[in-house]
Structure 1
Amino acid sequence: MDRSLIPSSVVLRLMLVLTMVCWKTKGAVELPPNLWVPAVLVFGDSIMDTGNNNNNTQTLAKCNFPPYGRDFQGGIPTGRFGNGKVPSDLIAEELGIKDLLPAYFDPNLQPNDLLTGVCFASGGSGYDPLTSKMATAISLSGQIDMFREYIRKLEGLVGEDRTKFILANSIVLVVEGSNDISNTYFLSHAREVQYDIPTYTDLMVSSAASFFKEIYQLGARRIGVLSAPPIGCVPFQRTILGGIVRKCAEKYNDAAKLFNDKLEKELASLNRNLPNARMVYLDVYSPLLDIIVNYQNYGFKVGDRGCCGTGKIESAVFCNPLDTTCQNVGDYVFWDSFHPSENVYRKLVPPILQKYLYQFI
């Protein structure tokens, strides 16, 4: 066949598909039989944000400055809320897809990046729309808009059929809830006058379910939803509410556990009612709490303070170039007063993936 007769658009699509296959990296997690994951797509908050907040001049929830990124490639602060890679990156790495998951708003984002996944997460966001508004973060509805635009771009690269295939087989991850409970409900009291914790967690779950159904309608099928973590045990909450000995704030943890129970049941209900849906509840609460409480068993020396500054209250703009940092972040469970260190994420991500991946089949 004369190659000159093949439309250039078809050639481009073939090249992009081949690139998607060739760019696979060697993952550490053993995938279950018959599970092929072409891309990772991530929605959520600062745990997953890989730089979408960098150019948002209205928010304080950003970290594209030192000492953030101290242990990242080249020591560059990229907008990741930590000293190095965040779970978005590590999940893509462990699945053998690519080493880093770029932010959708990364100005250097390349067309090839779209084929293997991007991150839509925004630090400060939450399931409750008020949470994102208070933090001037990109709300879940805003992240949906980014997702729609992503789909249009992907269709332009590989066509509608291939796009549907990528969306249906990709693993889509959602991480929200911490900011709702800790910031909107307890810290700012913005919802405390309207709701008690049972009714507020109902609001959170209702908003979460609407979001899951919306990304399902847009083509996502394998949707992994991470539980809320033990929020009361992060250094900031210990400092504010834990007294002289800085104990964990149990009312925060109790709220997280109640939300998690409802979230797991809601996901099971959605799976029963949405054809071909694989919505998987991923428990992060229990393994992270075990690391925090039994930190020495995991090789850490400090479990109740972060590496940045005093480690008790500093985070985001309050963890900045004027602050000193610990000499060896490998000794610390937390990087700042809210976010775990890369070493903790590396201990969490592989076993969580290995435990739950089979549920996406």
Structure 2
Amino acid sequence: MKNNTSWSCCSWSSWKLCLLSVLILTDTIAAVKLPPNLIIPAVIAFGDSIVDTGMNNYVKTVVKCDFQPYGINFQGGVATGRFCDGRVPVDLLAEEFGIKLNVPAYFDSKLNSKDLLTGVSFASGGSGYDPITPKLVTVISLEEQLTYFEEYIEKVKNIVGEERKDFIIANSLFLVVAGSDDIANTYYTLRARPQYDVDSYTTLMSDSASAFVAKLYGYGVRRLAVFSAPPIGCVPSQRTLGGGILRDCADTYNEAAKLFNSKLSPKLDMLRKTLPGIKPIYINIYDPLLDIIQNPANYGFKVANKGCCGTGAIEVAVLCNKITSSVCPDVSSHVFWDSYHPTEHTYKVLVSLLINKFIDQFV
């Protein structure tokens, strides 16, 4: 699965040039006003399809989207492997911080030193906190993502040296986004954990999430934005599968998401008390996304119960393709792009709602 890209390294005599390359990276101008003493050199993501920017392109799995109509609103209309019509949250946050417009996948064959120093995504669509979840669809587990992160750390050290590497790891923003596939696929759809009730299963999830954050801390990571589970019962596919003839939100899925969230937040609080210097911020994505879904007109949307691709009721990944699926006339009018993932426009609305609420907590 790994690519064999070679990496350029700076000699000790030219370390000043390396530092300059870190500081003067793009012409992107920060859209959010950062506190004067807050420096974020890179944005790095772990998790699932919400922040997968192309990792699954290099994996033998059906959970793929490196084909049209995915990417129709990306630069040049290219299907990059993002499960969206355009960019995803990790890209938008990197732009907000003035780092770069797009965060590449770690496996990207065009990856260069500049990309490494400003952030990559290790996330794999279909992955989750439950170790069984990625195995069910043959994608990259969180543990495997950590293995590639170890490689990444070594490559960054070879480029800028130990001290600067430590600075980048300690000051970058790390996104951890998972949980949806555990609930929607592993627990409810495939019933792969029959020995668990929903309470014990969400405890397994929150314990795994806490352990993952603690492992990142061991690598020197300090700033983490850990996303809650969304109102998974209200995404189009789950409405179709569990919402009855009227395709209402599937309440059992939403209750499971809320139960997991109620356990995840205090777990992060506990880590903050026990691991010196760590700043794991709980990002409540559930409530703002639910409000967008329930009151779409308030945010400029017209359709919230169907995706833009195909019928909008079930198409996702390989089922959303240019041969069998048409695209709605106005993507920006839809909350969801396919039957599972929001549109870029929805992500932009969510980022604008959330970013100023959590950024000051990293100072």
TM-score by length of 1: 0.96
In structure 2, distance between residues paired with 1:299 and 1:169: 35
- Structural mapping, 1:291-310, within 5 Å: 291-310=292-311
User: What amino acid does structure 2 have at the position aligned with 1:350?
Assistant: S
Match of 2:206 in 1: 205
Match of 2:128 in 1: 126
1:20-76 deviation line (CA, Å, top 9, x unaligned): 21124212111123111111111010000000000212x111100000000100000
Match of 2:145 in 1: 143
Match of 1:222 in 2: 223
In structure 1, distance between residues paired with 2:332 and 2:142: 33
In structure 1, distance between residues paired with 2:222 and 2:14: 27
For structure 1, which segment, 222-231 or 27-36, has the greater mean C-alpha deviation from structure 2 after superposition? Answer: 27-36
Paired positions, count: 353
1:86-145 deviation line (CA, Å, top 9, x unaligned): 001001011111110010000000011111111110000000000011111100000000
Q: Is 1:46 matched up with 2:22?
A: no
Change in 2 beyond 3 A, CA 1:104/1:18: same
In structure 2, distance between residues paired with 1:201 and 1:330: 34
Q: Is 1:21 matched up with 2:14?
A: no
- Structural mapping, 1:98-177, within 5 Å: 98-177=100-179
Contact 1:16 1:112 in 2 (8 A): no
In structure 2, distance between residues paired with 1:16 and 1:232: 47
Match of 1:241 in 2: 242
User: What amino acid does structure 2 have at the position aligned with 1:248?
Assistant: C
1:173-194 deviation line (CA, Å, top 9, x unaligned): 1000000000000000001x21
Root-mean-square deviation (CA, aligned residues, Å) is 1.1
- Structural mapping, 1:54-65, within 5 Å: 54-57=57-60, 59-65=61-67
Contact 1:29 1:350 in 2 (8 A): no
In structure 2, distance between residues paired with 1:132 and 1:12: 42
In structure 1, distance between residues paired with 2:192 and 2:39: 43
- Structural mapping, 1:184-199, within 5 Å: 184-191=186-193, 193-199=194-200
Match of 1:96 in 2: 98
User: What amino acid does structure 2 have at the position aligned with 1:257?
Assistant: K
User: What amino acid does structure 2 have at the position aligned with 1:26?
Assistant: I
In structure 2, distance between residues paired with 1:347 and 1:122: 23
Match of 1:314 in 2: 315
Contact 1:181 1:252 in 2 (8 A): yes
Change in 2 beyond 3 A, CA 1:312/1:222: same
1:194-251 deviation line (CA, Å, top 9, x unaligned): 1111100110111111111111000100111010000000000111111121100011
In structure 1, distance between residues paired with 2:308 and 2:18: 42
The SS at the match of 1:279 is strand
Per the TM alignment, residue 19 of structure 1 is displaced from its structure 2 partner at its CA by: 1.6
Per the TM alignment, residue 14 of structure 1 is displaced from its structure 2 partner at its CA by: 2.4
The SS at the match of 2:102 is coil
- Structural mapping, 1:61-76, within 5 Å: 61-76=63-78
Match of 2:3 in 1: none
Match for 1:358 among 346, 357, 360?
360
The SS at the match of 1:120 is coil
In structure 1, distance between residues paired with 2:222 and 2:261: 21
In structure 1, distance between residues paired with 2:188 and 2:167: 42
Match of 1:4 in 2: none
Contact 1:278 1:360 in 2 (8 A): yes
In structure 1, distance between residues paired with 2:32 and 2:41: 15
Per the TM alignment, residue 149 of structure 1 is displaced from its structure 2 partner at its CA by: 0.2
In structure 2, distance between residues paired with 1:216 and 1:295: 38
Match of 1:30 in 2: 33
Contact 1:94 1:350 in 2 (8 A): no
User: What amino acid does structure 1 have at the position aligned with 2:51?
Assistant: M
Runs of 4+ aligned structure 1 residues displaced above 6 Å come to: none
1:285-325 deviation line (CA, Å, top 9, x unaligned): 00011101100111111110000000000000010121111
